[in-house]
């Protein structure tokens, strides 16, 4: 991961300004929070206010890097890379223990290099009372502010299949390898992760019962040759 890309992710944070209403999505009484799925209101013509874009203009992302199609009756979100690093994510405010399981499906094309440039990203807050949020820059889009976070992880597709289930600690933002292998590309793959267990594995000294999931979405590295991946059924549940 480039230093520039790490810096972008490390600065995707804001301080909440009192009096500002920031749209977020919470867990249902049944312990379910859909980031993107069959009932999603996300549309190319209308990116809901709880979604934020960092790294490029919101309008440019929607016009050039987002498309939605239906596969077997269900919506699939297509995201493409470009000349800039960016993050597109949904603001949430969900207890990690109330919805500890993360599931999604993705279809990634064959690629060069060790890591596919589009990955999932999850931001957390509250587990370590001694930690402070990364940075202090306000990131404002259409009058809305990115939620604060003190922990984050990216979830990637690696070229080497044997690395599946391992964590790359070589950058400030740890990377969990959820899927690996070029042989598995160009077809839909479904993943299920115990996010609470993964959090404890990453930060064993944190008070994980206090952790809130502040946002969930996607991060894309800039690439000379554009590439796109499809995502569906992106859900937090208990």
The 10s digit of each residue's pLDDT in 30-51 is 778 999 987 677 777 778 888 9
Segment 3-19 mean pLDDT: 44
- 114 has a pLDDT exceeding 70: yes
- 112 has a pLDDT exceeding 50: yes
178-234 pLDDT, tens digit each: 999 999 999 999 999 999 999 999 999 999 899 999 999 999 999 888 999 999 999
- 142 has a pLDDT exceeding 50: no
Count up the domains in the chain and report the number. Answer: 1
| pTM of the model as a whole | 0.83
Residue 156 lies in a domain: yes
Residue 19 lies in a domain: no
Residue 18 lies in a domain: no
As a whole number of angstroms, the distance between CA 109 and CA 229 comes to 7
- 93 has a pLDDT exceeding 70: yes
Residues 6+ apart with CB under 8 A from 173: 1, 6, 9, 10, 152, 153, 154
Residue 226 lies in a domain: yes
- Side-chain-side CA neighbours of 74 within 13 Å: the count stands at 12
Residue 151 lies in a domain: yes
Lowest mean pLDDT among 3-7, 82-86, 194-198: 3-7
First-residue to last-residue Cα distance in the chain: 32
Residue 79 lies in a domain: yes
Residue 22 lies in a domain: no
pLDDT of residue 26: 64
Q: By percentage, how much of the chain surpasses pLDDT 90?
A: 56
Average pLDDT, the chain: 83
148: pLDDT confidence band, cut at 50, 70 and 90?
A: confident
Residue 23 lies in a domain: no
Tell me the residue range of the domain where 65 lies.
3-12+28-237
Name the phi and psi angles at 30, rounded to 5: -85, 0
| Cα dihedral 133, 139, 140, 146 sign | negative
As a whole number of angstroms, the distance between CA 76 and CA 181 comes to 22
- What is the domain-level CATH number for residue 74? 2.60.120
């Amino acid at each position: 991961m480039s230093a520039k890309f790490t810096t972008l992710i490390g600065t995707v944070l804001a301080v909440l300004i009192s009096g500002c209403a920031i749209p977020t999505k919470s867990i249902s009484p049944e312990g379910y929070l859909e980031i993107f799925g069959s009932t999603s209101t996300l549309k190319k013509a209308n990116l809901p206010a709880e979604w934020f874009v960092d790294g490029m203009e919101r309008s440019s992302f929607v016009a050039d890097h987002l498309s939605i199609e239906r596969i077997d009756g269900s919506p699939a979100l297509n995201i493409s890379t470009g000349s800039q690093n960016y993050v597109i994510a949904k603001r949430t405010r969900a207890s990690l223990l109330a919805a500890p399981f993360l599931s999604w499906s993705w279809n990634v094309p064959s690629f060069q290099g060790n890591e596919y440039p589009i990955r999932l990203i999850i931001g957390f807050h509250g587990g370590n009372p001694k930690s402070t949020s990364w940075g202090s820059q306000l990131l404002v889009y259409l009058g809305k502010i990115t939620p604060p976070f003190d922990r984050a992880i990216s979830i990637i597709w690696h070229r080497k299949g044997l690395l599946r289930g391992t964590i790359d600690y070589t950058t400030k933002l740890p990377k969990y390898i959820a899927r690996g292998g070029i042989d598995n590309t160009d077809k839909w793959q479904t993943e299920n992760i115990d996010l609470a267990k993964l959090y404890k594995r990453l930060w064993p000294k944190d008070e994980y019962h206090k952790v809130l999931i502040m946002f969930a979405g996607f991060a894309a590295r800039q690439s000379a040759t554009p590439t796109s991946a499809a995502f569906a059924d992106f859900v937090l549940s208990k």
